[in-house]
Structure 1
Amino acid sequence: MSAPVLVINSGSSSIKYQLVDADTGEASISGLIERIGQPESTLTHRTAEGGHTWNERIADHAEGLEAVVGAFDRYGSPLPEAGLMAVAHRVVHGGERFVQPVVIDDEVEAEVGELASLAPLHNPANLEGIRVARKLFPKLPQVAVFDTAFHATIPERAHRYAVPEAWRTEHGVRRYGFHGTSHAYVSRRAAELLGRSLKEVNVIVAHLGNGASVTAVERGRSIDTSMGLTPLEGLVMGTRSGDIDPAIVFHLHHRTGASFEELDAALNKESGMYAMTGMIDMRGIESAATEGDAAAEAALEVYCYRIRKYIGSYIAALGGADAVAFTAGVGENSAEVRARSLQSLVALGIQLDEEANLTGGPIITTQDSPITGLVVPTNEEGEIAAQTATLLRS
Structure 2
Amino acid sequence: MAVLVINSGSSSIKYQLVEPDDGAIVASGLVERIGEPEGRIEHSDRAGSTETTEPIPDHRAGLQLAFAMFARGGAPLESLGITAVGHRVVHGGKVFTEPTVVTDAVIAEVDKLSALAPLHNPPNLLGIEVARALLPDVPHVAVFDTAFFQTLPPAASTYAIDAELAKKHGVQRYGFHGTSHQYVSQQVASFLGRPGSELNQIILHLGNGASASAVRGGVAVDTSMGLTPLEGLVMGTRSGDIDPGILLHLRRSADMTVDDLDALLNRHSGLKGLSGVNDFRALSELVAAEDKQAALAYDVYVHRLRKYIGAYLVALGRLDVITFTAGVGENAPQVRADALANLAELGIVVDAAANERRAKGPRVISAPESKVAVLVVPTNEELAIARAAAELSG
**Residue 357 of structure 2 is aligned to residue 375 of structure 1:** no
Pick which of 59-68 and 210-219 moved more.
Answer: 59-68
Selected match of 1:114 from 112, 115, 128: 112
Summarize deviations over 1:117-160 as a string: whole Å, max 9, x none.
21122212222322332232222111000111111111111011
**2:85 corresponds to:** 87
Q: CA deviation at 1:360?
A: 4.4
**1:386 corresponds to:** 387
Selected match of 1:286 from 284, 287, 290: 284
Paired with 2:11 and 2:300, the residues of 1 have a C-alpha distance of 31
Q: Summarize the alignment of residues 108-257 of structure 1 with structure 2, pairs less than 5 Å apart.
A: 108-257=106-255
Q: CA deviation at 1:50?
A: 3.0
* Contact kept in structure 1, 2:83 and 2:139, CA below 8 Å: yes
Secondary structure of the corresponding residue to residue 5 of structure 1: strand
1:158 alignment partner AA = A
Q: CA deviation at 1:59?
A: 9.5
Distance change >3 Å, CA 62–CA 124, structure 1 → 2: closer
1:235 alignment partner AA = L
Secondary structure of the corresponding residue to residue 85 of structure 1: strand
1:347 alignment partner AA = E
Q: CA deviation at 1:293?
A: 3.4
Normalised TM-score (structure 1): 0.90
Extract unaligned runs of 5+ from structure 1.
none
Pick which of 213-222 and 6-15 moved more.
Answer: 6-15
2:262 alignment partner AA = D
Selected match of 1:18 from 13, 16, 25: 16
* Contact kept in structure 1, 2:146 and 2:178, CA below 8 Å: yes
Paired with 2:326 and 2:163, the residues of 1 have a C-alpha distance of 36
Summarize deviations over 1:208-262 as a string: whole Å, max 9, x none.
1111110111121111100111111101111111111101000111111111211
**1:77 corresponds to:** 75
Pick which of 312-321 and 30-39 moved more.
Answer: 30-39
Summarize deviations over 1:356-384 as a string: whole Å, max 9, x none.
11114711111221110001111111111
Q: CA deviation at 1:39?
A: 12
**1:318 corresponds to:** 316
**2:327 corresponds to:** 329
Selected match of 1:52 from 45, 50, 60: 50
Q: CA deviation at 1:270?
A: 1.4
Distance change >3 Å, CA 286–CA 68, structure 1 → 2: closer
Paired with 2:60 and 2:80, the residues of 1 have a C-alpha distance of 21
Paired with 2:287 and 2:303, the residues of 1 have a C-alpha distance of 16
Normalised TM-score (structure 2): 0.90
Paired with 2:334 and 2:113, the residues of 1 have a C-alpha distance of 38
Summarize deviations over 1:43-86 as a string: whole Å, max 9, x none.
54322333334589999877766655543233133333432220
Paired with 1:34 and 1:96, the residues of 2 have a C-alpha distance of 31
* Contact kept in structure 1, 2:78 and 2:135, CA below 8 Å: no
Q: CA deviation at 1:163?
A: 0.8
**Residue 353 of structure 2 is aligned to residue 352 of structure 1:** no
Corresponding pairs, count? 391
Secondary structure of the corresponding residue to residue 29 of structure 2: strand
Selected match of 2:299 from 285, 301, 307: 301
Q: CA deviation at 1:195?
A: 1.6
* Contact kept in structure 1, 2:119 and 2:266, CA below 8 Å: no
Q: CA deviation at 1:198?
A: 1.6
Paired with 1:70 and 1:330, the residues of 2 have a C-alpha distance of 29
1:98 alignment partner AA = F
Paired with 1:301 and 1:63, the residues of 2 have a C-alpha distance of 35
Paired with 2:30 and 2:283, the residues of 1 have a C-alpha distance of 26
Paired with 2:374 and 2:56, the residues of 1 have a C-alpha distance of 44
Paired with 2:58 and 2:236, the residues of 1 have a C-alpha distance of 27
* Contact kept in structure 2, 1:335 and 1:360, CA below 8 Å: no
Pick which of 216-225 and 116-125 moved more.
Answer: 116-125
RMSD of aligned alpha carbons? 2.7
